[in-house]
Amino acid sequence: MNLYGVRAIYKFEMARMRRTLMQSVASPVISTSLYFVVFGSAIGSRMGDIDNISYGAYIIPGLVMLSLLMQSISNASFGIYMPKFSGTIYEVLSAPVSYVEVVLGYVGAAATKSVILGVIILITARLFVDYDVLHPFWMFAFLVLTAITFSLFGFIIGIWADGFEKLQIVPLMIVTPLVFLGGTFYSIDMLPEVWQTISLFNPVVYLISGFRWAFYGVSDVHVGISVGMTLMFLTACMIAVWWIFKTGYRLRS
């Protein structure tokens, strides 16, 4: 394992976060804070409890997951796309580092940035809503596992994209609707039975449900299923990354 190579990529990507604090940290925190103000305080004060949890507190896991997913994908996809765009990817590919080390550097940095952002949002949420974390270990575990999984997914998008506009297609057209329909602002038990069944085909439901269980001990699906589905998606992303480097898909051409 070439730890020097991994550390070099990791430190370079983390330095980019420090150079763009307004875009990478301040912007998503402010956006999420607006959700807390509008849905947590304004609308939440006029709604009843869900599973004996105030509405403002109930939506916290979903809003954190919304930011976590979007930022994980964005950080990882942009991180690997820019070397492709500038042509410096060939220097990385010709360097004495394996594809595993390249992925560790880029995905590790993207996941770290997302976890930091998630923690900042949780701290910021205290300014608007009181909440408890029933299982802090599992809360942090879900946070890290989701960040790693969707950073890998973003890495794949960054390699697939051949233009800046394609970097936004999947997050905006697919991931964002899935998050909003995945129980961010409600429990799927509140839906008609047929829509409850349809919602189970939404993979984000399992992420939000498991994360909410870590906070309050309530979930739409069993926490074991949530963990299993997340690990399945992580495995699928790892297989896709392995195939990309094995075939050189959009890396050597």
Render pLDDT for 149-203 as a digit per residue (tens, 0 to 9).
999 999 999 999 888 888 888 888 888 889 888 888 888 888 888 988 888 899 8
Question: φ, ψ for residue 238 (rounded to 5)?
Answer: -65, -40
pLDDT score of 232 more than 80: yes
Stronger pLDDT, 142 or 88, i.e. the higher one: 142
**Which residue in 24, 62, 98, 21 sits closest to 219, CA to CA?**
62
Render pLDDT for 119-142 as a digit per residue (tens, 0 to 9).
999 999 888 888 889 999 999 999
Q: Which residues contact 87 (CB under 8 A, 6 or more apart)?
A: none
Tell me the whole-structure pTM to 2 decimals: 0.91
In angstroms, the CA 191 to CA 165 distance is: 35
Map tokens 């607006």 to a residue: 34
Render pLDDT for 54-69 as a digit per residue (tens, 0 to 9).
888 899 999 999 999 9
The predicted structure's pLDDT at residue 21: 78
Q: Where are the alpha helices (DSSP H) in 87-190?
A: 89-94, 99-125, 136-160, 164-170, 176-180
In angstroms, the CA 234 to CA 106 distance is: 16
Average pLDDT, the chain: 88
The predicted structure's pLDDT at residue 85: 84
In angstroms, the CA 213 to CA 201 distance is: 19
* Residue 92 contacts residue 83 (beta carbons within 8 Å): yes
pLDDT score of 99 more than 70: yes
pLDDT score of 91 more than 90: no
Average pLDDT score over residue span 79-87 = 86
The predicted structure's pLDDT at residue 106: 94
DSSP code per residue over 161-182: -SSHHHHHHHIIIIIHHHHHTT
* Residue 161 contacts residue 77 (beta carbons within 8 Å): yes
Q: Is 50 helix (H, G, I), strand (E, B) or coil?
A: strand
**Which residue in 222, 91, 204 sits closest to 153, CA to CA?**
204
Structure tokens at 243: 């195939």
* Beta carbons within 10 angstroms of residue 235's beta carbon: 12
* Beta carbons within 10 angstroms of residue 51's beta carbon: 13
The predicted structure's pLDDT at residue 163: 82
pLDDT score of 253 more than 70: no
**Which residue in 68, 158, 29 sits closest to 106, CA to CA?**
158
The predicted structure's pLDDT at residue 18: 82
The predicted structure's pLDDT at residue 136: 93
The predicted structure's pLDDT at residue 35: 83
pLDDT score of 238 more than 90: yes
Render pLDDT for 5-45 as a digit per residue (tens, 0 to 9).
889 889 988 988 888 778 778 888 888 888 887 776 667 66
Average pLDDT score over residue span 77-84 = 89
The predicted structure's pLDDT at residue 104: 93
pLDDT score of 205 more than 90: yes
The predicted structure's pLDDT at residue 45: 66
